[in-house]
Structure 1
Amino acid sequence: MTAIALRSRYIPWLFVAGFALVVAVNATMIWLAVGSFSGLYTAKPRDRGLNYNAVVEAQKSRDALGWRIDTAWHPAANRLEVAAFDAAGQPLGGPRIEVELIRPVEKQRPLAVTMDAIDIGRFAGHVELPARGNWDVDIVVEHHGERYALTRRMFLR
């Protein structure tokens, strides 16, 4: 048998081995993805889906207010700042604000942040992060019976 004929016998098996490697890697990635995160963000996703029109109406009424919420993270001080402005761009005087941090890649309870007023319409809260990375900052601002809620994704370190 010549060297070329000997080499030719193994070429089809190299293709089979290559495809087997691709299938094994993909199967491992699927197994890790399915086992690490369910993909559910809310506690009752079915109820949220059934009440989808109410959610859309709440978002429309929020947008009609024209409020603007600014957020800033200061990593050196582990401080989160939130500023609330009305439709005219003026700071909201005396709103009530609630802030929670949610880690979207882990199933843990939300981390409540106590916000203290530092100026008209500006608040700050100290946060001891258990881990750095992407966090969803859930902000609820209530002012004169109006409620404005939004979620902002931030990289906190």
Structure 2
Amino acid sequence: MSKKKPFIINGRHVLAGFVVFFGIIIAVNIVFVSLANTSFPGESVKKPYEQGVRYNETIAARELAVKLGWNITWSLDKTNADVNAFVVKVVDADGPVDGLKIEIALMWAGYRDADILLALKPMENGVYRGQLDAKSVPPTVLRFTGLAVRATDGAKMTFAGKL
């Protein structure tokens, strides 16, 4: 009977171990990077580059709104079990501001599919209202950005908040 040779680790075994180890690490990294890129693109708004380029317009609109004395308040009214109303009130030094076109982008953290753009309808006395289906409102913090534009001269005011 021949004596069995003991197993000895040589250079080929070490090289194979390194290749297998780092191959597994690289494969796992590729899987995680592809899953991360497909699940969340990293953009919280559409066309972020264009928004950044137009930031001077945003600053000018805010300065004009301060000069006009516009003050915007908002609330989410739960009128009944099926309907919520997003209510915005705009006033200036002279009183309520009517004749505005107001659009609100509503965003819920973690519920990207629920995000909507809501056009508010003018009521009276500077109040603007938009209806939301209460069943489609996720149970989390609501963040929003809005734009109010006066039809007569194009004066704009942006506003943002959370509820």
Residue 148 of structure 1 aligns to which amino acid in structure 2?
M
Give secondary structure in 2 for the equivalent of 1:133: coil
C-alpha contact (below 8 Å) 1:37/1:105 kept by paired residues: no
Which one of the candidate residues 39, 44, 48 is aligned to 1:41? 44
Aligned length: 121
Judge conservation of contact 1:114–1:126 (CA < 8 Å) in 2: no
Alpha carbons of 1:79 and 1:53: their partners in 2 closer, same or farther (altered >3 Å)? closer
Establish whether residue 80 from structure 1 lines up as the match of residue 89 from structure 2: no
Distance in 2 between residues matched to 1:116 and 1:133, nearest whole Å:
25
Give the alignment's TM-score, normalised by structure 2: 0.58
Q: Deviation string for 1:62-81 (max 9, x for gaps)?
A: 33332011111123531221
Cα distance, 1:57 vs structure 2: 3.0
Q: Which has the larger radius of gyration?
A: 2
- The one-letter code matched in structure 2 to 1:118 is M
Indicate which of 109, 132, 141 corresponds to 2:139: 132
Q: Secondary structure at the match of 1:115?
A: strand
What SS is found at the alignment partner of 1:70?
strand
Post-superposition offset of 1:41: 1.8
What is the TM-score of this pair, normalised by structure 1?
Answer: 0.60
Change (3 A) 1:108 1:85: same
Q: Which runs of 5+ in 2 are unaligned?
A: 1-31
Unaligned segments of structure 1, at least 5 residues: 1-30
Whose relative contact order is higher, 1 or 2, with alpha carbons under 8 Å and at least 6 apart? Answer: 2
Name the % identity: 20
Amino acid at match of 1:153: K
Q: Distance in 2 between matches of 1:95 and 1:48?
A: 22
1:37-95 CA-to-partner distances (Å, cap 9, x unmatched) read: 44422222233334443433333333333201111112353122111111x15101332
RMSD: 2.8
